[in-house]
Amino acid sequence: MNPSIVKEVEKRKTFAIISHPDAGKTTLTEKLLLFGGAIQTAGAVKSNKIKKTATSDFMEIEKQRGISVATSVMTFNYKGKQINILDTPGHKDFAEDTFRTLTAVDSVILVIDCVKGVEEQTEKLMEVCRMRDTPVIVFINKLDREGQDPYELLDELEEKLSIKVRPLSWPIGIGETFKGVYKLYDGSFRFTETAKTKIGKEVAVLNDLNSPELAKLIGDKEADKLREDVELVEGIYGNFDAELYLAGKLAPVFFGSALNSFGIQEMLDKFIEIAPFPKFRESTTRHVNPTEDKLTGFVFKIHANIDPRHRDRIAFMRIVSGKFDRNTFYYHVRLDKELKFSNPVTFMAESKNLVESAYPGDVVGLYDTGNFKIGDTLTEGEKMIFKGIPSFSPEIFKELINLDPMKAKQLEKGIEQLTDEGVAQLFRQEPGNRKFIGTVGELQFEVILYRLEHEYGAKCRFEARSFYKACWITGDKAKINEFIRFKAKNIVTDKDHNLVFLAETAWVLKTAIETNPDIQFHTTSEFKDDVLI
């Protein structure tokens, strides 16, 4: 255990912000950056159209549609801690990207719209967090609007997300009467001015709920209601148990308005106190502890053309253990070769900063010329792969048709790079080099078409193909060859040259499984951990 690495690990908090679309996730991200001093002014979001583009949305299609479709990584320092935020796509069509991002964080902030409450995508995201027992903090947003009753929202969270909750802040009023939040965890109240693009000026701080000053600041009726609420909440929910939170069994809840900068600092102050430090990770051979001397890390995302002016491609690597140094050779396990990185970067959305060294919990951007795929592991020579970063069977399949034979090379390069990012999966079929793209949502096809044309100058279209599921197949070689002979039109290979069976219907898949007992059909690409169908 290296004391200098231990010290760095204890400084770091790496988390993802997740939500259903339009819950205010990107606005909250910006306000955290604002309170952390990473930006001076936050972008204004009005009528769901991004007027001044949000800091974490840097891809052109995101700016046009006002949605996040790429995971952004941002870093800032706050009260002696280094905070690494991973902003994720809220849109359900990009759920797989979000899932992979959650493998690279130690905790999560889940944003809920107080008007809409728990939505479908919220439940799905929470299921992923529960699979890994990821600690979750809930931020109930948009208290400046006429939303649901706070008690009803807390009940809904427990019921729909199957997790116990404990409010740590409490709203004073709602909608037009919303005046800020009371900190249940230390019994204080900061009264600030409303501020949409900057931090609101502090008007007063009260540490006594029974102070006559409270009524002067918020009114007699509101002061009495707050005292009543605090007594009720403390009686119902009891003491906050930090161990249960770290075990993923209890979600602390904060209220606020990201747009008006209310409730953010109250959450951020408690977050840096209770959120977990970088944790150990499971590999194919052993547990990897963050405080080990030797570097290990894994690639969880690849983004081509972050800067359209330069044909760059960046692999996002989460450092698991040891210390990463610039211009040092590291071992790429899958390729079985040493690689050196002269320009590793950390991110502040659009701006990239050259980094000399990085520690467990940090996310480093590595310029890549095609060496990396999602799930790749870097070490100092040890042969192991980090687990839990699989591809899943897509839900929608389309064939890629080239519209300009003169641009075949650009199309080939573009679709290779874009599918390396993990937004969609590429399957090839021979003879004829037919390309099938599989995704979990329609919007990805729109993004792919847009990016192929604008970033690679390649025009194409998609033709729908009626496949039900993609299954990776393993087992007896002779039996597989026989199966391929009978099912040639349904057999493709993925980017790692694994054999994949595209079944047209659930019945076809069921029949294939029953009549081929020597072949295993897998629903994810991570066969070792996969439950067979």
Same structural domain for residues 470 and 325? no
Q: What is the CATH number of the domain that holds 190?
A: 3.40.50.300
Report if residue 528 sits inside a domain.
no
Helical spans, DSSP H, in 290-430: 408-420
Domain finish residue from 243, 274, 305: 274
**What tokens does 24 get?**
């205010």
Vertex 26 angle, CA 23 and 28, to 5°: 80
DSSP labels for 488-503? Answer: GGGEEE-TT--EEEEE
Q: Long-range contacts for 333-337 (Cβ within 8 Å, ≥24 apart)?
A: 333/376, 333/377, 333/378, 333/379, 333/383, 333/384, 333/385, 334/373, 334/376, 334/377, 334/385, 335/371
Q: What is the pLDDT of residue 95?
A: 61
Same structural domain for residues 339 and 211? no
Q: What is the pLDDT of residue 496?
A: 83
Same structural domain for residues 372 and 416? no
Report if residue 38 sits inside a domain.
yes
Domain finish residue from 248, 274, 300: 274
Determine phi and psi for 55, rounding to 5 degrees: -55, -35
Over the stretch 294-345, which tens digit does the pLDDT of each residue have? 999 999 888 765 555 555 678 899 999 999 999 999 999 999 999 999 999 8
Same structural domain for residues 50 and 158? yes
Same structural domain for residues 373 and 408? no
Helical spans, DSSP H, in 66-198: 95-102, 120-131, 150-161
Report if residue 390 sits inside a domain.
no
- Integer CA distances (angstroms), 160 to 92, 152, 253, in order: 18, 12, 15
Q: What is the CATH number of the domain that holds 510?
A: 3.30.70.3280
Q: What is the pLDDT of residue 38?
A: 74
Same structural domain for residues 423 and 350? no
Same structural domain for residues 445 and 335? no
* 290: containing domain: 281-379
Same structural domain for residues 49 and 182? yes
Same structural domain for residues 360 and 476? no
Q: What is the pLDDT of residue 56?
A: 52
Domain finish residue from 274, 302, 331: 274
Q: What is the pLDDT of residue 204?
A: 78
Report if residue 532 sits inside a domain.
no
Same structural domain for residues 255 and 109? yes
Same structural domain for residues 64 and 210? yes
Residue 10 burial by Cβ neighbours in a 10 Å radius (0-12, 13-18, 19+):
middle
Q: What is the pLDDT of residue 242?
A: 96
Same structural domain for residues 261 and 291? no
Helix (H) or strand (E) holding 314: strand 313-321
Task: Report the chain (533 residues): mean pLDDT per 10 consecutive residues.
Answer: 88 92 85 82 46 49 48 81 82 65 91 92 83 92 93 95 95 90 91 76 83 87 92 93 96 94 93 94 92 94 64 85 96 95 78 87 89 91 84 85 92 87 86 88 84 89 93 92 93 91 94 94 66 42
Report if residue 389 sits inside a domain.
no
Domain count, the chain: 3
